[in-house]
């Protein structure tokens, strides 16, 4: 399998065509030499640190959730220049997948969070531009919110926040990773016990407190580590690729 063939496989598996409204430039953001793919790197963010680590590991491609290009064109200078130059100098391809990797029912951040919690079935939840990005379902048994946080690896260092306003033991859960705090209102409307996301927005605090729902945010980075790790496992298992996961924790 070549680098381009792997990119085509990711595009197809992640149904990227179904998300034309995503402001991320999904797919190859830097398309390097189409050589035989021997090693693939995976990370949440495309930063100089992750690009440099992938190059140092002799990876042929770096697959990320947050790429370098969003919406309007951006000048290639300063920090952006250094990132792009490092990739080009090493012949490293960069493949980004944003909303499709949040929403995917198997590899996605939200589905993987549900599976990590032992949820054996879950339904689409959390509408954004006509598509449901997250998932909702029932935990395998009632848990406290701190227990849920521990299962997901959410820590103080990673930016975890809990707003406790509901039941002592939660059963029904809505999940939207990353910056989905405002979608707690959809969880409230559906009568869920707990809403899980990445970041906590000040504006939703009183809404949560007055609604009787529990709120858990694990940090934007930490809530979106699940999808790229799932893709890494897929690449290693199904394509026998050597892989490396680059953990560049932001604490945010």
Contact 97, 159 (CB under 8 A): no
Instruction: List C-alpha distances in Å: 250 to 45, 130, 148, 187.
Output: 10, 31, 21, 27
**Cβ density class 115-138: b for 16+ within 10 Å, e for less:** eebebeebeebbebeebbbbbbbb
Instruction: List C-alpha distances in Å: 232 to 41, 43, 223.
Output: 8, 9, 16
Q: Distance between CA atoms of 96 and 94, rounded to whole angstroms? A: 7
Half-sphere exposure of 60 (CA within 13 A, CB side): 18
Q: Which residue ranges of the chain lie beneath pLDDT 50?
A: none
Average pLDDT over all residues of the chain: 97
For the beta carbon of residue 42, count every other beta carbon within 10 angstroms.
Answer: 28
Q: What is the pTM of this model?
A: 0.97
Strands 170-175 and 131-143: antiparallel
pLDDT at 120: 87
> Which contiguous run of DSSP H or E holds residue 181?
none
Q: What is the per-residue pLDDT across 157-208, written as a single tens digit (0 to 9) for each?
A: 999 999 999 999 999 999 999 999 999 999 999 999 999 999 999 999 999 9
Q: What is the per-residue pLDDT across 35-49, written as a single tens digit (0 to 9) for each?
A: 999 999 999 999 999
pLDDT at 142: 98
Q: Delineate the domains of the chain, giving CATH numbers in brackets.
A: 3-97 (3.40.1390.30), 102-222 (3.40.1390.30)
**Alpha helical stretches, state H, 91-159:** 99-103, 109-116, 145-151
pLDDT at 99: 98
pLDDT at 16: 98
Q: Distance between CA atoms of 176 and 111, rounded to whole angstroms? A: 9
Question: Token match 């299962």: residue?
Answer: 151
């Amino acid at each position: 399998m070549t680098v381009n063939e792997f990119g085509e496989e990711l595009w197809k598996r992640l149904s990227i065509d179904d998300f034309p409204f995503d402001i991320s430039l999904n797919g190859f953001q830097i398309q390097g030499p189409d050589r035989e793919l021997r090693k693939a790197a995976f990370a949440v963010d495309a930063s100089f640190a992750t690009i440099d680590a992938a190059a140092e590991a002799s990876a042929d491609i770096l697959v990320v959730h947050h790429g370098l290009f969003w919406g309007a064109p951006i000048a290639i200078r300063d920090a952006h220049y250094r990132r792009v130059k490092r990739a080009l100098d090493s012949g490293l391809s960069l493949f980004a997948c944003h909303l499709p990797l949040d929403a995917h029912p198997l590899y996605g951040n939200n589905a993987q969070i549900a599976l990590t919690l032992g949820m054996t079935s879950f339904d689409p939840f959390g509408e954004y531009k006509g598509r449901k990005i997250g998932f909702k379902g029932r935990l395998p048994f009632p848990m406290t919110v701190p227990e849920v946080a521990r299962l997901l690896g959410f820590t103080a260092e990673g930016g975890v926040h809990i707003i406790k306003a509901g039941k002592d033991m939660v059963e029904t859960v809505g999940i939207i990773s990353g910056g989905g705090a405002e979608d707690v209102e959809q969880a409230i409307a559906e009568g869920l016990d707990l809403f899980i996301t990445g970041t906590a927005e000040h504006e939703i605090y009183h809404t949560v407190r007055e609604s009787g729902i529990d709120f858990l945010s694990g940090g934007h980075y930490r809530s979106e580590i699940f999808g790229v790790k799932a893709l890494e496992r897929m690449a290693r298992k199904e394509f026998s690729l050597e892989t490396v996961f680059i953990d560049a924790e932001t604490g945010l």
